[in-house]
Amino acid sequence: MKLRFGFGTGFQEVEVPEQNLIGELHANEVPRGLVGEAEVVRALENPIGSPRLRDIVHPGETVAIITSDVTRPMPTYKVMPALLDELYAGGVRPEDITLVFALGSHRKQTDEEHRRLAGERAWNEIKCVDSDPEDCVSYGITSRGTPVDITRVVAEADRRICLGNIEYHYFAGYSGGAKAIMPGVSTRAAIQANHSRMVLPECCAGALETNPLRMDIEEAGATVGIDFIVNVVLSEHKEILRAVAGDATKAHREGCRFLDTLYRKELDAPADIVLVSQGGAPKDLNLYQTQKALDNAKHAVRDGGVIILIGSCREGLGERTFEQWMTSAPTAHSLIERIEREFRLGGHKAAAIAMVLEKAEVDLVSELDDDFVRSIFLTPQPSAQAALDHAFEKLGRDATVLAMPYGGSTLPTVRKKV
């Protein structure tokens, strides 16, 4: 059977014998309603746990809309027209609205990226800026000791609206909700304090109220004050399938429940070989982002198996500290030892990769140089097909194969034997 995996703006194809393939994880079938911008309008007209946005805002108020940067698939340009209509209906003036791209610890963006992300209407009508971790306002600390330092343009706004897409996150449980505030528009020190909890077993994909890291995020969001959210759940092809709007927690939880019906996948047994991709651009721009698919794949592979990670990574590793940790470590295991004694943002993803390597071999199909890939403890492969052939040579021609073409979205869980 021929399978296709997104790779940058193109694809990698691989032929898998049908007798070896135990599954190809795609979204579950769910009832279809409105999609795209029409679904955003529906959500804004029917907020969860909140009045309509037009009844929250007032003329003369300043509004900060916080949304995702270029590393996320959030279709801000599809949300903004209906959102602006709602704000204008409440009497807010265009000159009082700022669209803030939440960089977290990511690089600054170009004007062209701002324009593409915001969409032509928002770009022409309102201010569009990156968050600035060097110009922040302090709100104190959370009960767990995380500083709440928020970029000034967000902190000083009269109203704060958070946008985002909801998908599984390997230690925050789910993306979306208050995550636009923490880590989105926070300082590196604040992000580091929050993310240091990733080593706790409760901090894992699909966990919310039992997840101390997610609870810390939501406490930070409540401290700052989030007036309204608009979150979306995307199909594998990045179409808006569901939008939720309203209260920062109640609307987010409803979105998470929908995500579970769509992307949580149960397996009878782990696979010998897992083929996994982020689904292509923009989610495989670098290894820092592609790692998310790897972390979901670890739940599906048996101990001693092989994960074939397919991602362009054309921008390299993607984060300075992550690169420094990956390229300076003497062994993969040393990264785990290092994160236990000194948590560093960026280094946390290096340690996460090392944790997967404790369980399985990771073969990388990318645009990175082969020698460089070997130096960061992964096995380079020229193509997905070559990687699969190599895995069969290692594990035998009877090895079982699981395919995860959108690995950052689908969360496999192996059923517990009774």
Contact between residue 145 and residue 179 where contact means Cβ atoms under 8 Å apart:
no
Are 204 and 309 found together in one domain? no
Residue 412 has pLDDT above 80, yes or no: yes
- With a CB cutoff of 8 Å and minimum separation 6, the contacts of 119 are 76, 77, 78, 80, 81
Residue 368 has pLDDT above 70, yes or no: yes
- With a CB cutoff of 8 Å and minimum separation 6, the contacts of 29 are none
Domain boundary among 168, 197, 226: 226
Is 277 domain-assigned? yes
Q: What is the pLDDT of residue 402?
A: 98
Q: How many CA atoms lie within 13 A of 396 on its CB side?
A: 7
Q: What is the pLDDT of residue 103?
A: 87
Are 63 and 150 found together in one domain? yes
Residue 20 has pLDDT above 90, yes or no: yes
State the pLDDT confidence band at 219, using cuts at 50, 70 and 90: very high
Is 42 domain-assigned? no
Is 251 domain-assigned? no
Query: Cα–Cα distance between 26 and 171 in angstroms, integer?
Result: 22
pLDDT for 265-307, tens place per residue? 999 999 999 999 999 998 899 999 999 899 999 999 999 999 9
Are 73 and 220 found together in one domain? yes
Contact between residue 69 and residue 108 where contact means Cβ atoms under 8 Å apart:
no
Q: Which residue has the higher pLDDT, 188 or 208?
A: 208
Q: What value does the mean pLDDT take over residues 64-87?
A: 94
Query: Cα–Cα distance between 259 and 249 in angstroms, integer?
Result: 15
Average pLDDT, the chain: 94
Is 345 domain-assigned? yes
Residue 347 has pLDDT above 80, yes or no: yes
In this structure, of 97-111, 212-226, 354-368, the range with the lowest mean pLDDT score is: 97-111
pLDDT for 27-68, tens place per residue? 888 888 899 999 999 999 999 999 999 999 999 999 999 999
Are 175 and 301 found together in one domain? no
Q: How far is CA 104 from the centre of its chain?
A: 12
Domain boundary among 206, 226, 246: 226
Tell me whether strands 159-165 and 228-234 are parallel, antiparallel or unpaired.
parallel
Domain boundary among 203, 226, 249: 226
Residue 168 is part of a domain; what is its CATH number? 3.40.50.11440
Specify the DSSP element, H or E, that contains 7: strand 2-7
Are 210 and 275 found together in one domain? no
How long is the chain? 418
Is 104 domain-assigned? yes
Tell me the residue ranges of DSSP E strands in 61-218.
Answer: 63-68, 97-102, 127-130, 136-141, 147-151, 159-165, 168-169, 173-174
Residue with tokens 């192996």: 414
Q: What is the pLDDT of residue 314?
A: 96
Q: Concatenate the DSSP letters of all residues of 214-273 into one string.
A: HHHHHHHHHHH---EEEEEEE-TTS-EEEEEEESTTHHHHHHHHHHHHHHEEEESS-EEE
pLDDT for 144-153, tens place per residue? 999 999 999 9
Q: What is the pLDDT of residue 379?
A: 98
Residue 354 is part of a domain; what is its CATH number? 3.90.226.30
State the pLDDT confidence band at 418, using cuts at 50, 70 and 90: low
Q: Which residue has the higher pLDDT, 414 or 311?
A: 311
b/e string for 340-353 if b means 16 or more Cβ within 10 A? eeebbbbbbbbbbb
Are 288 and 215 found together in one domain? no
Q: What value does the mean pLDDT take over residues 322-327?
A: 97
State the pLDDT confidence band at 403, using cuts at 50, 70 and 90: very high
Query: Cα–Cα distance between 391 and 181 in angstroms, integer?
Result: 42
Q: What is the pLDDT of residue 192?
A: 84
Domain that holds residue 90: 57-226
Is 256 domain-assigned? no
How many CB atoms lie under 10 A from the CB of residue 62? 17
Are 18 and 68 found together in one domain? no
Residue 107 has pLDDT above 80, yes or no: no
Is 237 domain-assigned? no
Q: What value does the mean pLDDT take over residues 167-183?
A: 93
Q: What is the pLDDT of residue 28?
A: 86
Are 271 and 195 found together in one domain? no
Are 151 and 293 found together in one domain? no
Are 158 and 201 found together in one domain? yes
How many helices (H) does the chain have, and how many strands (E)?
14, 20
Residue 100 has pLDDT above 90, yes or no: yes
Are 63 and 19 found together in one domain? no
In this structure, of 157-166, 242-251, 338-347, 380-389, the range with the lowest mean pLDDT score is: 338-347
Q: What is the pLDDT of residue 215?
A: 97
Q: Which residue has the higher pLDDT, 148 or 197?
A: 148
Number of compact structural domains in the chain: 2
Q: What is the pLDDT of residue 306?
A: 98
Is 409 domain-assigned? yes
Q: Concatenate the DSSP letters of all residues of 275-320 into one string.
A: EEE--STTTTSSHHHHHHHHHHHTTTEEEEEEEEEE---TTTT--H
pLDDT for 116-131, tens place per residue? 999 999 999 999 999 9
Residue 345 has pLDDT above 80, yes or no: no
% of the chain exceeding 70 in pLDDT: 100
Are 287 and 341 found together in one domain? yes
